[in-house]
Amino acid sequence: MEKKKSLLKLILISFLLTACAFGGRSPDPHYYLMGYNLEPALQQDNPLVLGLGPITIADYLTRPQIVTRSSGNEVSYNDLHRWASGLRENIMDVLVSDLSHQLGSHLVIPYPWPKNSRIIYQVILDIQRLDGTLNEQAILHVRWHLINRQTKQLEFTEPVTLIQPLTGQGYNSLVDAERFLLEQLSIRIANKLSDLRS
């Protein structure tokens, strides 16, 4: 009996020493945000009124942790690396900023927009994949639709898969690559809109 008590005391002391050595708490998480261009866009004489959204994202992307892939079908969530805001909202902010600059229009209006907005075109996005493999690459797979709000016609639809190699290691590099992929997507959208208006 005494041996059992001594053993329990030893285990308790070891546990307390370990807790003290590590400060008694887990490491603080890191938070990430895809940045967007804060400079005002150069305005065209006849700016396009574009409605952006709705934007939907795959269910597996709605968690606060940044998603990585360790193999083709296996996804991982790391509690120490999280988005600083909702990913869908961050994507919306980024695309509004990028399209405003690429189209020369301050009238890129995120969904839901006011009823009196005179939207000419609407872009709807369904983001089915936005993740990557650490130290390797990031992948964006999205299906987007372009609707003429005046004629109520679907002008264009396209599934897109974009891949960007990572330029560094860790989560910062992954977030940078995902940000770059969104910029490439916005360029495709802006180019299509320019073709329709020319």
pLDDT score recorded for residue 167: 93
- In the numeric block, which tokens belong to residue 79? 């509690």
E strand segments, 91-196: 108-110, 121-133, 137-148, 153-165
Give the pLDDT confidence of 93-144 residue by residue, as tens digits. 999 999 999 998 889 999 999 888 899 999 999 999 999 999 999 999 999 9
Average pLDDT, integer, range 78-107: 94
Query: What global pTM score does this model have?
Result: 0.84
**Taking the alpha carbons of 84, 86, 92, 95 in that order, is the dihedral positive or negative?**
positive
Stated as kind and residue range, the H or E segment containing 197 is helix 170-197
Q: Kindly list the structural domains of the chain, giving each domain's residue range(s) and its CATH number in brackets, ordered by start.
A: 2-197 (3.40.50.10610)
Average pLDDT, integer, range 40-45: 62
Mean of the per-residue pLDDT values of the chain: 87
**Backbone φ, ψ for residue 97 (5° rounding):** -65, -50
